[in-house]
Structure 1
Amino acid sequence: MLKKFRGKKSYFRNLWRRSTAEQYDLDFGSEGWFDLWHTHLDFYGFGNNSLKIRREHIKAHIALYNGLLEKLQTFGKPYQSWIELVVEDAGLDAVYIHTPNPNEDNFPLKIENVNWDCTVPNDFKDLINLNEFNVGHYKWESNNSYIIQSKNKGIRLQNSLKESSIIYKKV
């Protein structure tokens, strides 16, 4: 039996506070870069217990993503940014930013076997404006991951080739 989720009102008030781009002090200076930087808004996976709670977190991820895209307009360097939703674990849902970086030559990021012509699950299909966003699906280990990415801002995530010696996967 699941424990009752107490303090929902303050939890969701804080969730929406954390979903504004102003909450993140991102370094957009001349030396600024991002190596798969990401943030999880449902770190404890509360969305696993209720579709209503999961959908609220997805809405918050989309709001944060849109705010970060606005901030990235002033970045002046190439970047990739996306939302990743992991069907099996809401705690893994995150918003990502990735740029060329000194840590590794992994830009633009390539992910194995992304299907950009996937069917968007009914659980969150109505939350995503398909005129604004591309949605892709891929399997990672036993997880089903959906990528939501702007059609017009940033560099699109690319499919990697199976023959490639280096395959970058989710961190």
Structure 2
Amino acid sequence: MKKFRGKKRYFRNLWRETTAEQYDLDFGKEGWFDLWHTHLDFYGFGNNKLKIRKEHIKAHLALYNSLLEKFDTLGKPYQSWIELVDEDTGLDAVYIHTPNPNNDNFPLKIENINWNCTVPKYFKGIINLNEFNVGHYKWESNNSYLIHSKNNGVKL
């Protein structure tokens, strides 16, 4: 494994991506989202060290909270969540979903989510369980955790 060089610049750029303004998203009345998502750890750097993984989770939470603030102006129902995949951090993403003209799939229902799961130890101190629900489901061979706001949006 090669040494991760340029960490300071990498994380500075990562944190720039954690505001909703960084994305050209239409939060107006005509705007809609069909499972829109973004991966902040696209290259999977969090697979190498837990410290890097935790920093990416914090960045995903910051982006998620920034998007939730924008949803106040949306004026229609929406779903938004964070998906964290144990086996590959490159698959971690923040999702937005609304009624849309592409599919009649709102609200999205993900089968077999265990909302009473044991929360992984590395989530502790990062995810406030008073604000967020954490659910687990298995997709193919991946263990995925969904983080969803208790107070915002339509539940998954």
Q: Smaller-chain TM-score range?
A: over 0.9
Q: Which residue of 1 aligns with 2:29?
A: 30
Q: TM-score, normalised by structure 1?
A: 0.90
Structure 2 unaligned runs (5+)?
none
Q: TM-score, normalised by structure 2?
A: 0.98
Structure 1 unaligned runs (5+)?
158-171
Structure 1 position 29, deviation (Å)? 2.3
Q: Which residue of 1 aligns with 2:64?
A: 65
1:4-54 Cα distance to aligned partner (Å, 9 max, x none): 000000000000001112211210222210000000000000000110000
Q: Which residue of 1 aligns with 2:136?
A: 137
Note the aligned Cα RMSD (angstroms).
Answer: 0.7
Aligned pairs (5 A) from 1:35-54: 35-54=34-53
Q: Percent identity?
A: 83
Letter paired with 1:138: Y
Aligned pairs (5 A) from 1:10-159: 10-157=9-156
Conserved 8 A contact 2:19-2:62: yes
1:110-153 Cα distance to aligned partner (Å, 9 max, x none): 11100000111001222100110000000000000000000000
3-state SS of 1:147 partner: strand
1:67-98 Cα distance to aligned partner (Å, 9 max, x none): 00001111001000000000000000000000
3-state SS of 1:44 partner: coil
Aligned residues: 156
